[in-house]
Amino acid sequence: MADLSTKIGALTLKNPIMPASGTFSEELAEVFDLECLGAHVTKTITRGKRAGNPVPRVCEINGAMLNSIGIPSKGARAFIDNVVPFYASYDVPLVISISANTADEFARFAEEVSVRGVAAIEINISCPNIEDDGKAFAMRPGATGDVIRKMRSATPLPLWAKLSPNTGEVVEVAQAAEAAGADALVTANTMLAMAIDSRTGRVRLGNIMGGLSGPALKPITLRMTYQCARAVSIPVIGCGGIATIDDVLEYLIAGARAVQVGTATFISPTTMPRLIRDLDKALEERGLSSVDALIGTVAVTGEALTLAEYA
């Protein structure tokens, strides 16, 4: 039996498998015992109520999904009164994901949701389908640093910054988040995308554009995980297209201290418990006694070329 535990800053997780925000809710407890997970990460909430986007909110493409759910939210009060108590019965850190329209709103909201039972706050600064054609805080180092700095002074809870693949400044954004006081990075959210039905000529999402997730996204978010793990000293949590144990191992080898499983849970709701079981077997097969022994062990020949040299 390998030691599956991993540390994300001050938090110790019993294993590195947790859900990605937006693909997890209390209903999953009707499928398996949520006690087995490394952390519980809830769907992004906003302070006030939001209806979300028009349907269709999802469509599939080869090996991936596009979504423009649009963060429907019942608001902070309903969440604190109903959702936080549900998770209190588990001995699993509760990570709540929040979003807001401005840095100041983010800070006020972080303070409001820093209640008993919440172990960390994940900052959704990267959701690409809120406003402004998907432009988000996480696209720029300055905006990212500003949000996190203000939140840092508003709450004592660990802050996890969920980064976006919709930026050309991955390393700069990651370093800005670290400098502003983030305790961990999550790499990454969905990538802004689009689908058209060639027969009808119509767009396939009610919101026109949406976020790409699933196996097709994995090479991009795996690359971001590698870049960020090298560029910062805070823990990086990999996220994007994870469905199999090999996906988990790749992210850990790239430098992730934990991983989030998202769209795969829609395809198979028992994915996460299966990955936990498979991780134990995979470590044993490799003769490793702990997850720690695998993290960041990627073998590279020579120095990575700069992005410009690939372009």
Q: Choose among 228, 151, 154: nearest CA to 182.
A: 151
Q: Which of 24, 106, 137, 160 binds other proteins (CB under 8 A)?
A: 24
Residues 27-46 that bind other proteins (CB under 8 A): 27-37, 43
Piece of the chain touching other proteins by CB under 8 A; list 147-155, 167-175, 249-257, 263-271: 263-271
User: Tokens in use for 294?
Assistant: 């695998």
Question: How far, in Å, CA of 295 to CA of 250, rounded?
Answer: 9
The binding track of 151-190 with respect to other proteins, each residue x by CB under 8 A or -, is ----------------------------------------
Among positions 9, 56, 181, 296, the unique one binding other proteins when judged by CB under 8 A: 56
Query: Which of 274, 288, 293, 296 is in the footprint of other proteins by CB under 8 A?
Result: 274
Among 114, 181, 266, 296, binds other proteins (CB under 8 A): 266
For position 9 contacting other proteins by CB under 8 A, the verdict is no
Q: Hey, which bits of the chain come out as E strands?
A: 6-8, 11-13, 17-19, 40-41, 58-61, 64-67, 94-98, 120-124, 159-162, 184-187, 191-194, 209-213, 236-239, 258-261
Q: Which one is catalytic: 36, 127, 228, 239?
A: 127
In one-letter notation, the amino acid at residue 273 is P
Residue 54's CB is within 10 A of a number of other CB atoms, namely 12
Q: How many C-alpha atoms does 107 have within 13 Å on its Cβ side? A: 14
Segment contacting other proteins by CB under 8 A, of 98-106, 135-143, 194-202, 274-282: 274-282
Tally of CA atoms within 13 A in the half-sphere of 73 that contains its CB: 23
To other proteins, the closest distance from the beta carbon of 189 in angstroms equals: 15
**Has 129 been labeled as part of a binding site?**
no
Q: Does 23 bind other proteins (CB under 8 A)?
A: yes
CB closer to other proteins, 69 vs 182: 69
**Residue 25 touching other proteins (CB under 8 A):** yes
Question: Is residue 94 a contact partner of residue 160, using CB atoms and an 8 Å limit?
Answer: no
CA 226 to chain CA centroid, Å, is 15
Binder of other proteins out of 117, 277, 286, 307 (CB under 8 A): 277
Determine the distance from the C-alpha atom of residue 201 to the mean position of all C-alpha atoms in its chain, rounded to a whole number.
33
What is the Cα–Cα distance from 221 to 241, expressed in whole angstroms?
Answer: 8
**CA-to-CA distance for 45 and 99, rounded, in angstroms?**
6
Residue 70, annotated as binding a ligand: yes
Binding piece for other proteins, criterion CB under 8 A, among 23-31, 76-84, 191-199, 294-302: 23-31
SS (H, E, C) 107-174: HHHHHHCCCCCCCEEEEECCCCCCCHHHCCHHHCHHHHHHHHHHHHCCCCCCEEEECCCCCCCHHHHH
**36 is a catalytic site residue:** no
Q: How far is the CB of 185 from other proteins (least distance, A)?
A: 23
Active site positions, annotated: 127
Per the annotation, where are the binding residues for FMN? 21, 43-44, 124, 162, 214, 240-241, 262-263
Per the annotation, where are the binding residues for substrate? 43, 67-71, 124, 189-190
Per the annotation, where are the binding residues? 21, 43-44, 67-71, 124, 162, 189-190, 214, 240-241, 262-263
Residues lying near other proteins in the complex (CB under 8 A) are found at: 1-5, 12, 14-15, 22-25, 27-37, 43, 51-52, 55-65, 67, 69, 72, 214, 265-270, 272-274, 276-277, 280
